[in-house]
């Protein structure tokens, strides 16, 4: 209870817990020898586990996180290799999960680019995206374009077409899917516009 009544002790404890929560190897280098916080492998393990507790991550993402926290490369590699052995890091499963969670909002091209940026191997990307099928892109793009077109009823057809095309392109749909969907959506609106 003393810590609760002494304001300086509370502040000191909060600062200590913030340093520990950050898990930064650079912050812990001032610790005395033999202290667990002075072990770069333990620091790397703690950082990686905290990052993985939020969401699944690729090996490249974790490597970058550890590097940004000044964890030595050999300690980071040791921890990440062990995590891969026990299945905590699996880029193929990560890619599959990424496509499943973001597939309704994004086209195959965007998903492919996001996974490349996260360091996932091309084979894993192809397996994850290939499993979803071409029909999924068409269906998702059609639903998105139909919803968006409903909000643009008062605009000129050319303006609607341009805006819908830009929206679908930003979401990563192929030009073939975009042309087909825009044609269908605008064709479906034509009788309503004339009458």
Q: What is the pLDDT of residue 46?
A: 92
Contact 83, 47 (CB under 8 A): no
Name residues whose C-beta falls within 8 Å of residue 33's C-beta, 6 or more positions apart in sequence. Answer: none
Calpha distance 38→77 (Å, rounded): 17
Query: Could you give the C-alpha distances from 48 to 27, 109, 113, 169, in angstroms and in order?
Result: 16, 29, 24, 35
Residue 174: count of CB within 10 angstroms of its CB: 17
Q: Confirm or reject CATH 1.10.10.10 for domain 2-89, answering yes or no.
A: yes
Kindly list the averaged pLDDT for each block of 10 residues, start to end, along the chain of length 195: 41 41 47 59 92 93 94 93 93 93 88 94 93 83 93 91 95 92 86 49
Residue 130's pLDDT is 86
């Amino acid at each position: 209870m003393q810590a609760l009544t002494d304001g300086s002790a509370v502040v000191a404890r909060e600062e200590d817990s913030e340093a520990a929560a950050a898990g930064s190897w650079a912050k812990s280098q001032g610790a005395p020898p033999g202290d667990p916080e002075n072990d770069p492998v333990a620091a790397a393990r703690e950082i990686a586990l905290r990052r993985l507790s939020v969401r699944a991550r690729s090996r490249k993402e974790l490597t970058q996180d550890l590097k940004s926290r000044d964890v030595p490369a050999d300690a980071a590699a040791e921890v990440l290799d062990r995590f891969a052995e026990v299945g905590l890091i699996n880029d193929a499963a990560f890619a599959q999960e990424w496509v499943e969670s973001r597939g309704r909002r994004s086209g195959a091209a965007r998903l492919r680019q996001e996974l490349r940026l996260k360091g996932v191997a091309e084979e894993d990307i192809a397996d994850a995206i290939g499993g979803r099928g071409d029909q999924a892109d068409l269906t998702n793009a059609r639903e998105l374009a139909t919803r968006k077109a409903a909000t643009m009823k008062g605009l000129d057809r050319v303006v609607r077409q341009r805006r819908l095309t830009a929206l679908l392109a930003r979401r990563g749909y192929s030009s073939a899917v975009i042309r087909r969907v825009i044609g269908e959506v605008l064709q479906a609106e034509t009788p309503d516009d004339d009458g």
